[in-house]
Amino acid sequence: MKNICLLGATGSIGEQTLDVIKAHDDKFRLTAMTFGKNAEKAAEIIETFKPKYVGVGDEHTYETLKQHSFSYTFKTGIGEEALIEAAVIPEADIVVNALVGSVGLLPTLKAMEHKKTIALANKETLVTAGHIVKEHAQKYDVPLLPVDSEHSAIFQALQGENPKHIKRLIVTASGGSFRDRTRQELEGVTVEEALNHPNWSMGAKITVDSATMMNKGLEVIEAHWLFDLPYDQIDVLLHKESIIHSMVEFHDRSVIAQLGTPDMRVPIQYALSYPERLPFDEAKSLELWEVGQLNFAQADFERFRCLQFAYESGKIGGTMPTVLNAANEEAVAAFLSGRISFLGIEDIIEKALERHQVIAKPSLQEIREVDKDARKFVQTLLT
């Protein structure tokens, strides 16, 4: 039995993680969870899975949760402290970080210090502080298991292989909601259109990131840290069916790909059960004859400017990816609230990157300060 701490239980990845736990309740137990503001959904989860600890996003949501009547008692906490308390709870074996944004960084580091296995769906953790996270993983000898379908695919393709034989990683991308539109056709697109992803069911922020291709850019930076490869050995390939989740090319020109239907529960389960594989009858089998054909195209940096920003920021390194992520989070939030246009997301990120003076090897405190400063700067652009 593996005890699971789930950070971000009411989000898309969180819900799908719960599906896996429920499907294998003889293998996994939810021992701690956190959530942001959705008290109604959280109450259902609490009553169903009965975790020992529940972290709540803020005081108001905590008061809302208290109005529910539960059949058992559990410990609670509020805010960032609650994220950390959940992540270091002694009973937990695996911490699934399904949080959205840089808020996932500190609880990940604290969980590592307590020797927890990390199942990482929060890509911003590696984007904002990859060097610190990797140092922690090595120092505390903690497994860092990828949950994103692309990184899970690469991780699976590398099982039994010598990393020295890798020629390049090929990260596939659906292209998002606007993959068939020109830049001119992106003028005036709505929030509703951006949130209509053709393949995946995800949260609002990640779906918008997919539409701008920032999500893929963040995944490139994450792949750089997870697999210790330079950026010129990480390519992005547009593949609108999302059947091939990513590929690895070796120096003998062999290519190993991981395929499957677009279902995040499969890579989530692999991270939880690794190094074993468990059956999962809830997922649909891949029938290639039903798919018929697979399409591929090169990723155009002029069309997808956020992808270019990510590569450039990753290569510069230091605090530049921190600014990239912080500016993107604030810009996407502004778009979702109707304050800026879709293409305005790119403009804001570019201005934040151009303004920043890079710190080459930042401490955790410097990263947090840079993150805060970048967000403040973006807010000045929105007033």
Annotated binding residue 166: no
Annotated binding residue 167: no
Annotated binding residue 11: yes
Nearest to 351 by CA among 318, 326, 333: 326
Annotated binding residue 217: no
Annotated binding residue 36: yes
Annotated binding residue 162: no
Annotated binding residue 3: no
Annotated binding residue 116: no
Annotated binding residue 150: yes
Report how far Cα 220 is from the mean position of its chain's Cα atoms. 12
Annotated binding residue 123: yes
Annotated binding residue 130: no
Annotated binding residue 10: yes
Annotated binding residue 203: yes
Annotated binding residue 19: no
Annotated binding residue 37: yes
Annotated binding residue 190: no
Annotated binding residue 161: no
Annotated binding residue 199: no
Output the known binding site for NADPH: 10-13, 36-38, 122, 124, 203
Q: Which residues are annotated as a binding site?
A: 10-13, 36-38, 122-124, 148-150, 174, 197, 203, 210, 215-216, 219
Which residue numbers belong to the known binding site for Mn(2+)? Answer: 148, 150, 219
Task: Indicate the annotated binding residues for 1-deoxy-D-xylulose 5-phosphate.
Answer: 123, 149-150, 174, 197, 210, 215-216, 219
